[in-house]
Structure 1
Amino acid sequence: MGTTGGTRLSPLATPNFRYFFVGQVVNRLGSSMAGLALAFAVLDIDDSASALGWVVAASSIPMVVFMLLGGAIADRLPRAVVLRGCNLVQGVAQSLTAFLVISGHAEIWHLVVLQAVAGTVFAVSYPAFLGMVPILLPVEERKAAFLLIGQATSLVGILGPALSGLLVATIGPGWALAVDATTYLVAASMLVLVRLPPGDRSQARASVIGDFAAGWAFARQLGWVIPGASCALVFNALVSGGINVLGPVIADDTIGSEGWGLAGSAQAVGVFVAAFFLAKVTLTRPMKAIMASFVVWCVPMLVLGTHVSVWLLAASFAVAGAALSLLDLSWNLLVQEKVPEAMLSRIMAIDGFFSFVAMPIGQVAVGPLAGAFGASRVEIGFFVVAVLVAGFAMTRRVLTDLTLTGAPPPELASRTPSR
């Protein structure tokens, strides 16, 4: 999309976006701390992988189950209000978690229940968050805003785990969780300052289920959403298994945990640096860019499957991070140009559902595959699958014919057919 009306930081001149941006950066900082802190809190209670698995699953399962309905809720109500409420609920849940851990009264079932609450709320807040930029900024400012959010997220993704590790090692995981709880409340308070007129919801159905059905029908009507999300399902499954699960196993036998951590951090660097270049790039064929980015995202698999060295792996992760930056920008610009504001969160929720449901598929499948064929062959095989899927997608005109023109998003002129 050719965007020339705004500098890299110009979205921050808009008060509503500035409040939203600051709140979400603070929120992401806390969230980037929470995973490590929660893991060590669980292991302090019950030193078993099974216990940790239950706690992690308690969050991820409702997140996937309720994601599509969450998109309907986020489209039905004012998104800033939805996000504010979600942040408050998550802040309270994490505050209870922190209190139980710090006081020494936490049990595994406590954490399972509280993480289930957090996962359910995230299923609503995620699509609401992804639908905010197009209602906060004019068209010419949105590209810069998406890149700015990506850069900030990559930075806190480096800082958060390091800060969490320091707190866990010195004063305990409960205090790191308390910091995370505080960031939710800060984000909610920043969203109080966001003042927006109510969007047009004249096409809303009588119930949330009706809105969900209308959103799914609209996605089918567009033609490219479900095929694109299906490709994302495959790629997320490959990455979650081949890089996130099998990668550390291979690293443990080659470059060690320190080398793996150093190499992996290069991905955030790639995201951050790429944004400066993407600000000057004109995107016209978003799906072609997305499919190419998916393949490049999988490049670390080639290194893991052939010759593992810290610097070669770090370089591959940096390139993968740059590809992720292009991927996110292309998808966000595509959706905000082609989808009416009243449908944004539902379309984003469909993409999120396909992406999140793929992760446990890859995580579960990779172990038996590595046992049968060997870790290196699985990594190379996964990369080949990535290339084949992207190549097949490039033969689908419903994807390749999509063009960004810079036009404003369409209006939802009539009731979406419920087919």
Structure 2
Amino acid sequence: MITGLGNSGALIAAAFAVLASGGSGTDVGLVAAARTVPLVVFLLVGGAVADRLSRHRVMVAANALNCLSQGVFAALVISGRAELWQMVVLSALGGVGHAFFAPAAEGMVLSSVRGEQAGRAFAVFRMGVNGASIGGAALGGALIAAVGPGWVLAVDAAAFAVAGALRAFLDLGGVSPREPGGGLLGDLRDGWREVVGRPWLWAIVLQFSVVNAVVAAAEAVYGPQVAEEHLGGARPWGLALAAYGVGTVLGGLLMIRWKPRRILLAGTLCVFPLALPSAALAVPVPVGWLVVAMFATGVTLEVFGVTWMTALHQEVPEEKFSRVSAYDWLGSIALVPVATAAAGPVEELVGRPAALWGCSVLVLSLTAAVLCVPDVRNLARREAVGEAVVASGPSVDRPAADQPTVKVPSGGSGEGAASAS
């Protein structure tokens, strides 16, 4: 959460640092893309490494790389000597660090939880992450206005240093050591088999590869334009985004108490409301209704996020968490740069309202398609979630005559907003 608090503000600070150096909107996009591309390229390697080595050490190394890159970025900006190519390279290093950090962090969270309290633990974890993201963005914006983007980047570098130091002293004596696999490529193939061997897993990852992309295009490209032309500018759009953040926190509170029996059925039904913001922008509706739509989206998406983490924790072997998480992350973000780049040309071709309605239709149709997968509808919560997974298939609700709770493996599994969530 410490790194999340600083990093959220630093992402905003990087954009303003580019503008302060005389850069254009295209330059801002280039620096942002420089962080995303290595994240996509190195995610699978990061997942395999995190399953071969101690996850917390991988996280410490990633924190150290991010601390170094952000510290140099801050020094260049504060000194007024930052050039575009330097900011691109340093942003790319930040993306590499995140590619190794994210799978290791998710694998560590999943492996550290035991028993039937897993769902509540994941809800609390996601509340902390979301709260840090919301608070970091707000604090970062205020600090940029007060002291400039360079000092916000320096704070982020310090946050990485503190987080890495705290993780370095974690007592992980209770975590069983993992045996090395058959090489990096072998580990990646093994992780791929874990994914494709579970229809519920690859179906939802494919779903969110498109859903995340169209939601990002709607909110990052079309939303600000609609707000500027029809809703009164940046302030009401910021209010709508804040309502989404509040919704995620309340969704986390809900999931502390609610433990649905059919975890993926409940979670997937809660994906349908993601179509609401695009539809609201397409009309466009008054600000009050947009705020309601964004709030509802935040609540329901958090329900999905917790059920998704619970399903991964229950069904994926512990020693393969990070590799599966890496494939999940890769599927969840790979199309986001493509969608945001294509949003403008699509708007010119069919018009903004049609493009936004198309986003909503894609969310609804893909979510309905995922519900056609039997294991998505039937994957059931086991009471002893912390027990070792003994087969690679999901447990499903069945009639009493067909009692086994773990499906025989059929083959050799993208914040979850996390990952598919």
Q: TM-score with structure 2 length normalisation?
A: 0.89
3-state SS in 1 of match to 2:170:
coil
Q: State the Cα distance separating 1:398 from its structure 2 match.
A: 3.5
Tell me how far 1:320 sits from its aligned partner.
Answer: 0.5
- Note if 1:279 corresponds to 2:256: yes
Deviations 1:114-152 (A, max 9, x none): 111111111110011111223323223322221112222
Q: Is the CA contact 1:70–1:127 (under 8 Å) kept in the aligned structure 2?
A: yes
Match among 10, 25, 33 for residue 57 of structure 1: 33
Specify the alignment match of 1:149 in structure 2.
Answer: 125
Contact 1:339 1:409 in 2 (8 A): no
Partner in structure 1 of residue 388 of structure 2: 410
Q: 2:313 aligns with which of 333, 336, 350?
A: 336
In the alignment, which residue of structure 1 is the partner of 2:209? 233
> How much does 1:35 deviate?
1.2
Shift of 1:348: 1.0
For residue 137 of structure 1, what is the amino acid of its counterpart? V
Partner of 1:400: 377
Residue 247, structure 1, aligned to residue 223, structure 2: yes
Structure 1 residue corresponding to 2:110, chosen from 99, 112, 134: 134
Can you list the C-alpha shifts for 1:179-219, whole angstroms capped at 9, x where unaligned?
A: 111110111111123111353423x3232222111111222
> 2: distance between equivalents of 1:320 and 1:95?
36
Letter in 1 for 2:246: V
The CA deviation at 1:307 is 3.2
1:383 and 2:383 equivalent? no
2-structure distance, mates of 1:206, 1:372: 50
- Residue of structure 1 aligned with 2:236, choices 244, 255, 259: 259
Partner of 2:138: 162
> Size of the alignment, in residue pairs?
392
CA shift at 1:236, angstroms?
0.7
More displaced 10-residue stretch of structure 1: 329-338 or 298-307: 298-307
Please tell me the residue identity of whatever aligns with 1:306.
V
SS in 1 for 2:334: helix
**What residue in structure 2 maps to residue 214 of structure 1?**
190
**Contact 2:124–2:256 under 8 Å retained in 1:** no
- Within 1, Cα distance between the matches of 2:63 and 2:275? 33
% identical equivalent positions = 32
Please list every run of 5 or more consecutive structure 2 residues that lacks an aligned counterpart in the other structure.
Answer: 393-409, 413-421
Equivalent residue number for residue 100 of structure 2: 124
The yes-or-no answer on 1:39 pairing with 2:18 is no
**How many Å separate the matches in 1 of 2:303 and 2:292?**
17
Which moved further from structure 2: 192-201 or 236-245? Answer: 192-201
Partner of 2:141: helix, strand, or coil? helix
Q: CA deviation at 1:243?
A: 2.2
- 1: CA distance, partners of 2:138 / 2:351: 33
Moved over 6 A (4+): none
1:78 pairs with 2:54: yes
Give the match for residue 190 of structure 1: 166
Conserved in 2, the CA contact under 8 Å of 1:337 and 1:406? no
Alignment partner of 1:326 is 2:303: yes
> Structure 2: which amino acid aligns with 1:400?
R
SS of 2:310's equivalent in the other structure is: helix
Whole-Å Cα distance in 2 between the matches of residues 367 and 136 of structure 1? 43
CA shift at 1:361, angstroms? 2.4
CA distance in 1: counterparts of 2:31 and 2:390, whole angstroms: 41
1:45 CA drift (Å): 1.4
Deviates more, 1:109-118 or 1:370-379: 370-379
Compare 220-229 and 73-82 and name the one that shifted more: 220-229
Q: What do residues 279-307 of structure 1 show as CA deviations (whole Å, max 9, x unaligned)?
A: 22122223223322222123111111113
Deviations 1:226-278 (A, max 9, x none): 22100111111110112221111111101111110111110110011122222
Q: Within the alignment, does 1:359 sit opposite 2:336 as a pair? A: yes
1:10-25 equivalence runs, <5 A: 25=1
Q: Is the contact made by 1:263 and 1:317 (CA closer than 8 Å) also made in structure 2?
A: yes
Deviation at 1:156, TM superposition (A): 2.4
The answer for the alignment partner of 2:324 in structure 1 is: 347
- Shift, 1:153, TM fit: 2.4
Change (3 A) 1:409 1:356: farther
CA–CA distance in 2 between the matches of 1:278 and 1:413? 27
| 2:200 counterpart (215, 224, 238) | 224
Map Cα deviations across residues 153-181 of structure 1 (whole Å, 9 max, x no partner). 23223322222122222221100000111
CA distance in 1, matches of 2:211, 2:106: 20
Amino acid at match of 1:291: T
| Letter in structure 1 aligned against 2:194 | F
Structure 1 segments unaligned to the other structure (5+ residues): 1-24
- More deviation in 384-393 or 404-413? 404-413
Residue 37 (structure 1) shift: 0.5
| Aligned-residue offset at 1:110 | 1.0
1:303 maps to a residue whose letter is A
Which residue pairs with 1:4 in the alignment?
Answer: none
